[in-house]
Structure 1
């Protein structure tokens, strides 16, 4: 069933959330007219970005004032089209849907790209959202071909889907926690086609990750490297976190979201238990700021002078709306509402006059390269919009 959302609900939501206690250092916008105007202004900037099949917007560097643009093969390419699909829901305006269709079309060729595990991020977040809203059979065909391509990266000895191909001389078979997010494409492929192969592969990957990616405190490791002959773990390391032992904030988000989503399709209680355990680790961590927006790594050495990660907060808050639906744990929905409220402050929403296709600032990307740290990043907006829509659906 197609559901459309409008600004009137958002205004009601903002009024209700205004009663939530904000972080002391944030100036929260409580005037719903100002919130409405600011968000509409940002949405229009998203739509105004020029159409270019080779230049999907990924992030914005406030120092150089340059938008980082990437081709469709980049793992982030699907988020911009996904944002436009969701903005068509938020605003009820067809112009966002029309733009979403154009940007989605640019990603079609990725359905044959077997050099990446990020089929879900790219194809499901664009074609998947489009199919859910239009029922377009061509979109369904692209989704199924993409799932077939992704399945070729599964190794039966490891019982997982390979993540990266780079550093092959050092990492024999790396699997990152992010890869849990790409399983949604496989689960959906079985639902759409009736072929259970995709579902079984997704379950095997989720089970292997469940055994090997989590620490005793229920935080998650970023990268687990496997032996392709016997399937044993060779090492547990990080690539984007502060250290091999640290809790990289976005990685915790991928774990919470990934296992909540996996529970949706399987009803495996172990998945639900892990999603709750890692969620509890996240929201109860001593280094989580009062406004719920984490530092980029919970163990970063210069807290409280480390960059925040809005994207991690939005990923977790969106996941916890769904997790609340399964558990009825008020702590989860309260966190989601707090994050939504605080992200609508002048601290996090970009100025209305800044001509870039993003909504939020203060996300953090790859610390190993010192890139995209404390910047607007496209996936922060994606999960922010999803959070808003999920809260509305829950309210209804």
Structure 2
């Protein structure tokens, strides 16, 4: 991509104002016309949100969007909707043992509401605060329970519980790239003083599991150009990492929603891009003594920063000039786009391979957070680079052909891809590939990125998932 190093948050304010106006209208349309009895809205077909019976991993994005809309614009009706929907509909997600998505569903709802109360944006109410806290503590413990233990050789032991990872809904053998962002549920629960209680009242430290999962992800899901295999390109990521549960040994990369185990599905890349920088920001709020049992601050920050920079650099190098990536960097028909296709703006209406705006919406926040983290460490050159890259991507997304300006379309950001190998994405009439549709995760994460930059532009407190 071509980074505009002159771009500033303030220069995007007019676009942000327009964005939030559109965002409100999309939320209103879904609230008015979508039938919740069908299940959670997942992605659009011909501009109307549809469900997809897999797991209900997008409901927190739906109601979290109402809360973010209030955060950005102060609309009390949006706040009331977000509160009511969280109270009435999100409880099953708090105790859902079958998924790895707690950071998506519960931090986006209960977490945002608790954060707003701590910021003084919602009137203090002790019982309401305790309700949110209890939900977040339970969510963090439930997510941490979904644990596969690996041999101690893969990391330091802790409380007789060796290194490991939160396993995906595919089963205990499966580590997903996505889950690095669901660590938010464990981090917040730890902040609230909670532990996972196992047999015989053994306490499992949730922060330690954050570090252990992040270390496993950094070691096996991210490549560094160190000769791991014939396709070891620095920053490349594997969507899924497979382990042999008989002996705990790593076996191979895999991909559920990408093209191949040895290519990079760009939304999986984006989850890692944002997951590591925001955990680095969170760790900066902790005392060194909390990190000593799992390797110490220097070692932990080192592997996290290495993974964050590798993936962010890979994204920059493998996205189109305007910062939008194609859905997979190894997609089989990319060569048909012609030489230098990354040197020009992405073409969502091409005939060969789709772009994925949701990967851009997620990834741009990772770049912004990495820039902020490095800036606080005094690395000004790197901070400027990553911040400018994030702002460049956001500017692209805040304009057509990505910003959905059609009142009849319920999506906010167009040209999102869900499951290309599974054929789940709509191909509109007259087109040869999926395009023109939106996803609930893409719409939520563009709102998060827009809120993050709006606060930068106004000199307000940084938007974070963790508590002050």
TM-score (norm 2): 0.72
Residues 204 and 34 of structure 1: CA distance in aligned 2, closer, same or farther (over 3 Å): closer
Say whether residues 1:181 and 2:181 are aligned partners.
yes
Say whether residues 1:298 and 2:339 are aligned partners.
no
Task: Return the match for 2:209 from 201, 210, 213.
Answer: 201
Q: Quick check: 1:308–1:364 contact (8 Å CA) kept in 2?
A: yes
Q: Quick check: 1:54–1:70 contact (8 Å CA) kept in 2?
A: no
Task: Return the match for 2:312 from 271, 274, 279.
Answer: 279
Q: Quick check: 2:358–2:416 contact (8 Å CA) kept in 1?
A: yes
For residue 370 of structure 1, what is the aligned residue in structure 2?
423
Say whether residues 1:336 and 2:390 are aligned partners.
yes
Q: Quick check: 2:9–2:391 contact (8 Å CA) kept in 1?
A: no
Q: Quick check: 1:14–1:32 contact (8 Å CA) kept in 2?
A: no
For residue 96 of structure 2, what is the aligned residue in structure 1?
113
Per-residue deviation at 1:243? 1.1
Say whether residues 1:141 and 2:194 are aligned partners.
no
Q: Deviations over 1:200-219 (max 9, x none)?
A: 11111111111111222221
Q: Deviations over 1:139-158 (max 9, x none)?
A: 11011111121121112236
Residues 152 and 38 of structure 1: CA distance in aligned 2, closer, same or farther (over 3 Å): closer
For residue 218 of structure 1, what is the aligned residue in structure 2?
235
Greater displacement, 291-300 / 102-111: 102-111
RMSD: 2.6
Report the number of matched residues: 365
1:251-262 aligned within 5 A: 251-262=268-279
Residues 181 and 274 of structure 1: CA distance in aligned 2, closer, same or farther (over 3 Å): same
Match of 2:312, SS? helix
Q: Deviations over 1:351-386 (max 9, x none)?
A: 332152x21111111122111353200111111111
**Partner Cα separation in structure 2 for residue 39 and residue 114 of structure 1:** 32
Say whether residues 1:153 and 2:146 are aligned partners.
yes
Task: Return the match for 1:314 from 361, 385, 389.
Answer: 361
Q: Quick check: 2:22–2:412 contact (8 Å CA) kept in 1?
A: no
Residues 330 and 69 of structure 1: CA distance in aligned 2, closer, same or farther (over 3 Å): same
Match of 1:155, SS? strand
Say whether residues 1:56 and 2:40 are aligned partners.
yes
**Partner Cα separation in structure 2 for residue 143 and residue 173 of structure 1:** 26
Query: Which has the greater radius of gyration?
Result: 2
For residue 370 of structure 2, what is the aligned residue in structure 1?
323
- Name structure 2 gaps, 5 residues minimum: 1-7, 119-128, 152-162, 196-203, 226-233, 285-300, 338-351, 376-382, 426-433, 460-468
Q: Deviations over 1:53-97 (max 9, x none)?
A: 6632211012xx552126895112211111111001122111111
Q: Quick check: 2:265–2:328 contact (8 Å CA) kept in 1?
A: yes
Moved over 4 A (4+): 30-40, 70-73
For residue 131 of structure 1, what is the aligned residue in structure 2?
114
- Name structure 1 gaps, 5 residues minimum: 1-12, 19-29
Q: Deviations over 1:242-272 (max 9, x none)?
A: 1111111111101111111221233523202
